[in-house]
Amino acid sequence: MRSCVVLLFASLLTLCEAQGTIVTPVFVLKGRDLLLKLRADPPEGVLAVNWKINKTVTLVRIKSNGSVNVLHNVTGGFEFPENKFSVILKNVQEVDSRVYSAVVEMLKGNKTAAEYKVTVQGPVSPVELIVDRVDSSSSESCDLHVTCRTHNSHISSTFRCVDRVCNQEGGERSQVTTSGASLQVYLLHNVIICNHNNQVHWTHDFNTTEHFCSSNTDPPPHLGWVITVCVVILIVILIVVLIVWLYINRKRRIGKSK
């Protein structure tokens, strides 16, 4: 059996209704399985547990003897684990985003034992970090103009680097995309990060500021070789000149001695 998602990414924030039932928000990745279970062992004298959607339509009735009666199906169907009164929703889809309640039947009446507000979300699209332009006013400073882009949204920002210390103008930039996900671009230890996420999935792209601004503070690698070769040639020329000068002086001294 595929692993199920048990209250995946459930928020710590819970909503309390008038009758005291705790509604727990649950976010699930599309295509996963979701385990719904009671918050505690059912009380003595339980006759059955009814799992309902939106507090009205009964999906499954599970009797105390373990027998199961499916009254309404869901997109991917059900699976029933060994622990009593639990239900697994298989291969959940966006249409399965509803409120699911477990209502316990007893001789003295009914009681809601668990309630989950389920939101099914698909994976977010890949994101790309694009450097649109690099401006340099001196060898010590560099401005990077970047765009964080998905297939249907984008966000732009500027990063200023002085002496290899970079800052983001205006601070972290973020926006909510048309699909309800979050698109962010921010700076972390001189690394520009572009992030696209919802409550169950995320993608990112990044690049270092040094990759674009190092040319303004350091000489290119080939320039170092050129300087080295020039120094060596200059030294060789000086040595040759010195040898020639010593040779000429020696000949002059020999000529004078004769």
The one-letter amino acid at 96? D
168 and 148 inside one domain: yes
* Residue 65 falls inside a structural domain: yes
Q: Is 0.85 topped by the overall pTM?
A: no
Mean pLDDT of 123-149: 89
Distance CA 232, CA 181 (A): 60
Tokens of 3: 């692993």
CB 10 within 8 A of CB 31: no
How many domains would you assign to the chain?
A: 2
Cα dihedral angle (6, 12, 15, 16), rounded to 10 degrees?
90
User: Would you state the pLDDT for residue 216?
Assistant: 45
User: Can you tell me the mean pLDDT for 184-193?
Assistant: 92
Q: What is the pLDDT of residues 46-56, one digit of tens each?
A: 999 999 999 88
Does residue 38 sit in the same domain as residue 108? yes
Q: Give me the mean pLDDT over the 2-18 stretch.
A: 38
pLDDT in tens, 149-176: 998 899 999 999 988 889 999 888 999 9
Residue 227, domain member (yes or no): no
In a domain, 205, yes or no: yes
Once rounded to an integer, what is the mean pLDDT over residues 12-30? 65
Q: State the DSSP H helix or E strand holding residue 5, giving kind and residue range, or none if neither.
A: strand 4-5
Q: Is residue 134 part of a domain?
A: yes
Which of 36, 38, 33, 27 lies closest to 4, judged by CA? 33
pLDDT, tens digit, 9 for 90 and up, residues 97-124: 999 999 999 988 888 999 999 999 999 9
**Same domain? 19 vs 109:** yes
Handedness of CA 107, 109, 114, 117 (dihedral sign): positive
Q: Is the pLDDT at 8 greater than 60, yes or no?
A: no
Domain end call among 83, 101, 121: 121
Give 199-233 pLDDT, tens digit per residue. 999 999 999 887 777 654 444 455 566 778 888 88
Q: Judge whether 226 lies within some domain.
A: no
Q: Which of 93, 121, 149 is the last residue of a domain?
A: 121
Of all residues in the chain, the percent with pLDDT exceeding 90 is 47
Dihedral angle computed from the Cα positions of residues 101, 62, 73 and 90, in that order, rounded to the nearest 10 degrees: 80
Residue 258 binned pLDDT confidence (cut-offs 50, 70, 90): low
Are residues 107 and 148 both part of a single domain? no
| 37 & 146 share domain | no
Task: Output the pLDDT for position 214.
Answer: 62
Q: Are residues 164 and 138 in the same domain?
A: yes
d(CA 150, CA 175): 12
Dihedral of alpha carbons 93, 95, 100, 105, sign: negative
Block residue for tokens 């882009």: 149
Domain that holds residue 139: 128-216
Amino acid identity at 24 = T
